[in-house]
Amino acid sequence: MSELLSKAPFTGRAARLLASPDRKSGLEKAEREALVLRFSGIEGDCHGGLIRKSDSRMVKQYKRGTTVRNTRQLSILSTEELAEIARSMGIPDVRAEWVGANLVTAGIPDLTLLPPSTRLQFPSGAMIVVDIENLPCRYPAAIIERQHPEQTMGFVKAAKHKRGVVGWVEAEGEIRVGDAITVWLPPQRLYAHA
């Protein structure tokens, strides 16, 4: 694949890392200094697994509950896009904990618009593959509304194309807060027959 991948002209940084050991607490996650990435996802995170049951996001492709490969092992958002969402909503901040983030980046422009199959590489050798943009859902909206009933725009609208991406682990390793992130982009072109 990778003679086809080109290094982006910027380097990102791991600004925050989060994990949640169980789903009881909903989307909210706990801060970590480091995460260990395995082929099955984040060690000790409840969204791990090589496979998962398909959900409402995939009803056009799969009957709900179909066993599929887990391409949502990590939820990745950017500091810059979270700040833009907060600004649109008229609130001081949108915290990574509220939106289910595992990795919050800094320095990757328009993170949500990274092409599918982009690779994010860490100093340990750990590599995350971007599957696709994450769609804003109503769960963060409810959490944020509890915190900020005064908001001027709803989360789902404000977060459109700013809600980050989901991805999975291509190579194992530890990732740490402050790590540089090398971004490998696939060839850029539009498919003429869409």
Using alpha carbons, select from 184, 154, 155 the residue that is nearest to residue 167: 184
State which residue, 134 or 151, has the beta carbon closest to a second copy. 134
Q: Report in angstroms how near the CB of residue 99 gets to a second copy at its nearest.
A: 17
| Closer residue to a second copy (CB): 24 or 192 | 192
Of residues 168, 165, 145, the one with CA closest to residue 155: 145
The residue range among 18-26, 41-49, 113-121, 139-147 that interacts with a second copy, by the rule CB under 8 A, is: 113-121
Q: Which is nearer to a second copy, 10 or 30 (CB)?
A: 10
Element (H, E) at 81: helix 79-89
Inter-residue contact 158 to 69 (CB < 8 Å):
no
Interface pattern 115-144 for a second copy (x via CB under 8 A): xxx-x-x---x-x-x-xxx-x---------
Q: Which of residues 75-104 bind a second copy (CB under 8 A)?
A: none
Q: Which C-beta is closer to a second copy: that of 91 or that of 126? A: 126
The answer to whether the beta carbons of residues 106 and 80 sit under 8 Å apart is yes
Site string for a second copy, 2-31 (x = CB under 8 A): xxxxxxxxx---------------------
CA 47, distance to chain mean position in Å, is 12
Secondary structure (H, E, C), 145-185: HHHCCCCCCCHHHHCCCCCCEEEEEEECEEEECCCEEEEEE
Neighbouring CB atoms inside 10 A of 115's CB total 14
* Smallest distance from a second copy to CB 92, Å: 28
Q: Which is nearer to a second copy, 117 or 147 (CB)?
A: 117
Largest CA distance in the chain: 50
Q: Which residues bind a second copy (CB under 8 A)?
A: 1-10, 39, 50-51, 57-62, 66-69, 71-72, 109-110, 113-117, 119, 121, 125, 127, 129, 131-133, 135, 166, 168-172, 184-194
